[in-house]
Chains A and B, each alone.
Chain A
């Protein structure tokens, strides 16, 4: 069935869902409030105090919602910088700090130093600083800068990953390094950048390396001992990927049956099949399922791997205790655009069709936003959230996209203006959800690409890509937009257009203020109901991290954000803004040629409060 892919002509660029467009400045007049979704709730609100931020996204559901409401749409214009901290590292600062009790925990990009800051003492002195051993070779094996997306706190310990493929546990009180477990094989190009999720006495981790021809996996480590509890690959035989009697697919893919994640690849190509887990993990304590995405298949050139290439570019639900695969779904079967499936899965209960659905909302790189049933993997809604032309729609009967044959890369051909680009409609920058409005707040990219695929040979420890894909602005000329999204209908409710891709994450707060940062170094607050920008501050470097909110020991609400351009967008796309070393003078990237004028390297934490 590999060649019997149904394709239909899609015309031009599919328009985005209707919605009010605002701009970065709304100085004249105030936009009207949009319709909200009442009765939408976070699947598993955080167990701890509202003023803490102990997990990468604040809670298991990946909501990035804060119950704090001292800062409101009415008073946010009085926000000001309260204090700052230099991490000492000038690379892409994705992720965010954690706050537990009176302590803030920070993990830097490589060399992955961690700091504990005492928030209860004026000047925020260090309680401890940890410098784990971390192999230098990892720097050149990481595809997209030497980022680290943060840590998890649980049972008095801080857990995070090192770029060189180790996971570490640190005693939160003393800073003692409790264990350091090798999880990835650096010699094959397995690095680690994702933020682990602490779940039920375990830590769930995965690796990067989808551009290096690695074989992706997700694993659980015992929090107390550092020993691996289970490891599930995402490609290969059923036993390796932990497919057993509990595995049920809502949609039967073209390649089905036993060992489909092996047979949907030619020969042994699955062994270099990518499908890494470098994004955000979420957890539903009632279903006891962890949810993760998987990366692009290797190599990018799809001619070298005909078939659906399960389970690359997929969303996967696994039993938290055993790693068993319970369901899996490929937004982009046989991904030939580097669309990945790795973006975060946000777990919410949504009022739909007169009932409450246990939903999972996922804004895929491929440009479609999926609202799914998180128990079964059924697609309830799938609509474009950015301009796109590679596909026209997603069938709710098959779960598959209707592809545009004019936008399908192949060896030796140059396909022009495919939207979205390989950076996706959204990438690592996570969205936020507010139960107060029932809306999702999504940082997006508006980029398109030309794609030239070529044959590539696998050489362990080197990139396994086989394609060039220069990028340009998408329709409309802007390159990013921060949008509000109704996942029950698949409609954009408002949008703030930005000159550059919005590569930092979102934060939603009970005070009806949403926060995000931009590549050109603006940190912004917007009205959650109207999309009006209410406040902005120019931080020291471009923002690729995620804002958090916490309650200080003084009883005040604070907002914290990293400023430190980098990551894929900073390192690869911007050219001389964030070259490999500060004295490099590489040419400016053609995608964001103007960015170097607005920002430069940095590595700072900025913390804001009212008065």
Chain B
């Protein structure tokens, strides 16, 4: 069971920016039955944050590349998709968080590389992030990646100093 699940995930990693994802994923369990452990490992995405036991050299998984990296018009389309797919009402109008976590604070719960953000959108995440890979095309996921990765500038505030601030207060 675990092998099948991992294969589905790695299928997501392999397919890159095609529109035929659904068909490929549907075939994935069949691939699992013939894949060797080595084949599977080569398909996994590399997560830079992962701890490597024994401090061995970083695990060499695939690096997923956003075909729209640096493409402003794709990011602009991503912004529209962010509204159309109701992302806005979970993550906030400016992506700064509401029901769901902020995407604009530069702090990523599941990694902030393009591949990791792709995975978060495609597969979903445990606390209610839907698995959008079943509904929307890969190129749209990548446009969303372009948009949300562009939100994080200058909002990672490590220190807030409240001293000396004049605060208007009514009541006590």
Distance, CA A136 to CA B128, complexed state (A): 7
| Segment touching A, from B15-23, B25-33, B43-51, B101-109 | B101-109
**By the criterion CB–CB under 8 Å, are A462 and B102 in contact?**
no
Q: Contacting A496 at CB < 8 Å: which of B96, B169, B171?
A: B171
Chain B residue numbers with a CB within 8 Å of A465 are 86, 89
Q: Are the CB atoms of B109 and A581 closer together than 8 Å?
A: yes
Bound-complex Cα distance A312 to B4 (A): 45
CA distance A575 to B97 in the complex (A): 8
Contacts A136-B126, A211-B89: A586 and B169 contacting too (C-beta < 8 A)? no
| A288 within 8 Å of B (CB atoms) | no
Q: Which of B6-14, B55-63, B139-147, B151-159 contacts A (4 or more CB under 8 A)?
A: B151-159
Q: Is A596 at the interface (CB under 8 A from chain B)?
A: yes
Q: Give the docked Cα–Cα distance between A585 and B128 (Å).
A: 20
User: What is the total of A-B residue contacts with beta carbons within 8 Å?
Assistant: 120
Q: Are B101 and A584 in contact, with the CB atoms below 8 A? A: yes
With contacts A579-B102, A580-B102 taken as known, whether A140 is within 8 angstroms of B128 at the C-beta atoms is yes
Give the complex CA separation of A522 and B104 in angstroms: 32
A583 near B172 with CB under 8 A, answer no
Q: Cβ of B129 and Cβ of A587 under 8 Å apart?
A: no
A462 and B130 form a contact (CB under 8 A): yes
Q: Which residues of A contact B97 (CB under 8 A)?
A: 575, 579-580, 584, 586
Chain A residue with the shortest CB-CB distance to B126: A136
Asked if B98 is at the interface (CB within 8 A of a chain A CB), the reply is yes
Q: Determine if A597 and B99 form an interchain contact, defined as CB atoms under 8 angstroms apart.
A: no
Partner of A24, one of B85, B126, B171: B171
Out of A138, A497, A580, A587, name the residue touching B171 (CB < 8 Å).
Answer: A497
Chain A 128-147 residues near chain B, CB threshold 8 A: 136-144
A411 at the interface (CB under 8 A from B): no
- Which bucket holds chain B's interface residue count? 35 or more
Q: Which residues of B contact A137 (CB under 8 A)?
A: 126-128
List of A residues within 8 angstroms of B83 by Cβ: 454
Stretch at the interface among B34-42, B69-77, B160-168: B160-168
| A609–B99 alpha-carbon span in the complex (Å) | 37
Q: What chain B residues lie within 8 Å of A477 (beta carbons)? A: 168, 170
**Do residues A462 and B89 form an inter-chain contact, with CB atoms below 8 A?**
yes
CB-nearest residue of chain A relative to B172? A24
Query: Out of B99, B102, B135, B157, which one reaches A143, CB within 8 Å?
Result: B99
Count chain A residues whose beta carbon lies closer than 8 angstroms to a beta carbon of B: 49
A146 (CB) vs chain B CBs: closest residue:
B127
CB within 8 Å of B: which A84-133 residues? none
Do A463 and B86 touch (CB < 8 A)? Answer: yes
Known interface pairs A572-B98, A584-B107. Does A497 touch B130 (Cβ–Cβ under 8 Å)? no
> Would you call A140 and B100 a contact (CB within 8 A)?
yes
The answer to whether A499 has its CB under 8 Å from any CB of chain B is yes
- The reply to whether A478 and B171 form a contact with Cβ atoms under 8 Å apart is yes
Instruction: Please state if A585 and B107 are interface contacts (CB–CB under 8 Å).
Output: yes
> What CA separation (Å) do A211 and B99 show in the bound complex?
11
| Separation of A572 and B106 alpha carbons in the complex (Å) | 19
Contact at B86–A459, with CB atoms within 8 Å? yes
Q: Tell me if B52 counts as interface (CB < 8 A to partner A).
A: no
Please name all residues of chain A whose beta carbon is closer than 8 Å to the beta carbon of B86 when the two chains form the complex. Answer: 456-457, 459, 462-465
- A402 beta carbon closer than 8 Å to chain B: no
Instruction: Please give, as numbers and ranges, the residues of chain B lying within 8 Å of A14 by CB-CB distance.
Output: none
Is B90 an interface residue when CB atoms closer than 8 A count as contact? yes
A92 to chain B, nearest CB (A): 13
Q: Which residue, of B93, B98, B155, B168, has the highest number of chain A Cβ atoms within 10 A?
A: B98
**A residues in contact with B162, CB < 8 Å:** 596-597
Q: Which of A139, A144, A478, A571 has the most CB of B within 10 A?
A: A139
Given A138-B128, A463-B99, A580-B102, residue A522 in contact with residue B172 (CB < 8 A): yes
Interface string of A147-180 (1 = CB under 8 A from B): 0000000000000000000000000000000000
Q: Within the assembled complex, what's the spacing in Å between the Cα atoms of A533 and B125?
A: 47
A584 to B162 CA separation, bound complex (whole angstroms): 18
- Chain A residues in 8 Å Cβ range of B128: 136-141
Among A468, A499, A585, point to the contact of B157 (Cβ < 8 A).
A585
Residues of A within 8 A of B85 (CB): 459, 462
| Chain B residues within an 8 Å CB radius of A463 | 86, 89-90, 99
Cβ distance B48 to chain A, nearest Cβ, rounded Å: 18
A428-471 vs B, CB cutoff 8 Å, 1 = contact: the mask equals 00000000000000000000000000101101011111001000
Q: Mark A526-564, 1 if CB is under 8 A from B, else 0.
A: 000000010010000000000000000000000000000
The complex places the Cα of A596 from the Cα of B127 at a distance, in Å, of 25
Closest-by-CB residue of A relative to B84 is: A457
Within 8 A of B (CB), among A561-594: 571-572, 575-576, 579-581, 583-587, 594
When chains A and B are docked, how far (Å) is the Cα of A456 from the Cα of B84?
A: 7
The answer to whether A23 has its CB under 8 Å from any CB of chain B is yes
A52 interface residue, CB < 8 Å from B?
Answer: no
User: Chain B contacts of A138 at CB under 8 A?
Assistant: 128
Given the complex, which residues of B lie within 8 Å of A142, measured CB to CB?
99
**Is A340 an interface position by the 8 A CB rule?**
no
**A69 beta carbon closer than 8 Å to chain B:** no
Q: In the complex, what residues of A have CB within 8 A of residue B99's CB? A: 140-144, 211, 463, 571-572
A585–B156 CB distance below 8 A? yes
Chain B residues, Cβ within 8 Å of A476: 170
Residue A268, interface by CB 8 Å: no
6 A-B pairs besides A141-B99, A587-B102 with CB distance below 8 A are: A25-B172, A462-B130, A463-B89, A571-B99, A586-B96, A597-B165
Q: List 10 A-B contacts (CB under 8 A).
A: A138-B128, A462-B130, A497-B170, A572-B99, A584-B101, A585-B102, A587-B102, A587-B105, A594-B169, A596-B162
Top 8 closest pairs, chain A to chain B, by CB: A140-B128, A24-B172, A463-B89, A586-B102, A478-B170, A462-B86, A580-B101, A139-B127
